[in-house]
Chains A and B, each alone.
Chain A
Amino acid sequence: MKPFQEEGDSEEAKLLSQIAPLARSEARQERVWLRLEATGPARRLGSGFRLRPVWAALGLLGLTAVAGATFGRGLIERIFPARRIDPMPSPIAGSHRAPPRTGVRSEPTPPLPMPLPMPSVPAIATEPQPPRAVAHRPRPIRNADPAAVVRTAPATLETQLLLDAVNALRRDHDPARAHMLLQFHRSRYPNGALVEEALVLAIEAAGDAKEAEALRQRYHQRYPNGHFLPVVGR
């Protein structure tokens, strides 16, 4: 077998004739020798174990993946506790039905699209909900100190506080607890993003008609064009 260049005047021969074999270079040889000498005497590692960088990198990657799969989810849940909120039945209109919300919201939060019934409507429209496959159902915090709630999830606290009040009022039929939560909300968030909603809930949680009327008057004064006028009544 002969190389292309010896075979004839082909295209391959012409092309390969332009590629020169590597010329011997004493200067290159000397340079590399000096560099080798500069690296010090021969290390006698024998057949000892040497960890290749690629295996080290792959091992590190694998460890990270395992650690992430093991601890990552728990850590994320601890940092951003996902709360599943029961949808509240609306006794006044289907269009006011709030969708179930999960996840985390950062403050300031927009007004809650939660159902806000008229104060005079009894809170008995709650239908028994079919059991749902909820992986992380929020633990009810009844009888819990509201101040303790503050420490759990600052980002969703105001929202969660009001939703707990709604649940206490509508699901647990416990207006006293709802009242307490709303009072706490008033003291903790006097200028919160959900003050209007809290006031509407307070109207519903009011113990008697007189108190409810006073609160309604206050609502009209503070929010003459409020979102919940249809609910509160003009």
Chain B
Amino acid sequence: MDQPLVAKTAIAREMVSFRAIYERWFHETCRWLRAMGCADSELEDLAQEVFLVVRRRLGGFEGASPQGWIYRIAYNVARAHRRRLWFRRVIFLGDSGQLEAIPERAAGPAETLEQREAAHRVEAVLSKMSAKRRRAFYLFEVEGYSSDEIAQLEGIPDATARTRLFHARKEFRQQLKKMEAKR
């Protein structure tokens, strides 16, 4: 077999593999990005960024499960994105560049308003948490992940994930009470 044909075959195999990975993990990646604090309006851009990295590094990936690997890439992309937002906010004095997310389940204006209000309150509470607790809390409470799955994603022992969740829920409750008292 001549060399170009080998190369073409390898690329074709990789493309098939990448498509399979994309199909399997795209939606999960969007959920993770959301749990990492990315706005709904930015999910597509960030997911694209994640899968660009995935495609570029797929040849060198030798792990058993791509889940943790893609999660780590998503984490790095989200962190870089947050940093960019922070710079933008500092430079343009408060303009974070984020569009307000519109809840997808909205049936009417009243429900939309209610959901938006709830989203703002949850975001206000979560913004006071550490990034680790926030991720664990959001994945568990909103996206419906179990503590085992969270431990697997984060690459931490199950007990650590449970402890993190316990403290995150406690903090959420306290912060919410504080916020209610101020209103």
A19, B119: Cβ atoms closer than 8 Å: yes
Instruction: Answer yes or no: A20 CB below 8 A from chain B CBs.
Output: yes
Stretch from A31-39, A69-77, A118-126, A147-155 at the B interface: A31-39
Closest to B58 in A: A42
A217–chain B nearest beta-carbon distance, Å: 66
B83, A32: Cβ atoms closer than 8 Å: no
Chain A residues within 8 Å of B141, by CB: 3-5, 16
A19, B56: Cβ atoms closer than 8 Å: no
Main secondary structure of the interface of A (DSSP, over half): loop
**What is the CA–CA distance of A19 and B176 in the complex, to the nearest angstrom?**
15
Which of B43, B48, B176 has the most C-beta atoms of chain A within 10 angstroms of its own C-beta? B48
Instruction: Answer yes or no: A47 CB below 8 A from chain B CBs.
Output: yes
Instruction: Answer yes or no: A93 CB below 8 A from chain B CBs.
Output: no
A36, B51: Cβ atoms closer than 8 Å: yes
Residues of chain B at interface, number, CB under 8 A: 48
Chain A residues within 8 Å of B118, by CB: 15-16, 18-19
B49–chain A nearest beta-carbon distance, Å: 10
A11, B180: Cβ atoms closer than 8 Å: yes
Chain B residues within 8 Å of A32, by CB: 26, 44, 47-48, 51
Interface flags for A39-50 (1: CB within 8 Å of B; 0: not) read 101111111000
Closest to A46 in B: B60
Chain A residues within 8 Å of B60, by CB: 46-47
Partner of A28, one of B14, B30, B52, B169: B30
Residues A29 and B27 in contact in the complex (CB < 8 Å), given A21-B143, A54-B83: yes
**What is the CA–CA distance of A18 and B119 in the complex, to the nearest angstrom?**
7
Instruction: Answer yes or no: A133 CB below 8 A from chain B CBs.
Output: no
Residues A31 and B44 in contact in the complex (CB < 8 Å), given A1-B162, A5-B141: yes
A22, B166: Cβ atoms closer than 8 Å: no
Closest to A47 in B: B60
Which of A1, A15, A16, A22 has the most C-beta atoms of chain B within 10 angstroms of its own C-beta? A22
Residues of B within 8 A of A (CB): 11, 14-15, 18, 22-23, 26-27, 30-31, 34, 40, 43-44, 47-48, 51-52, 55-56, 58-60, 83, 103-105, 114-115, 117-119, 121-122, 140-144, 147, 162, 165-166, 169, 172-173, 176, 180
Shortest 6 CB-CB distances between A and B: which pairs? A18-B118, A42-B55, A20-B105, A22-B31, A29-B26, A32-B48
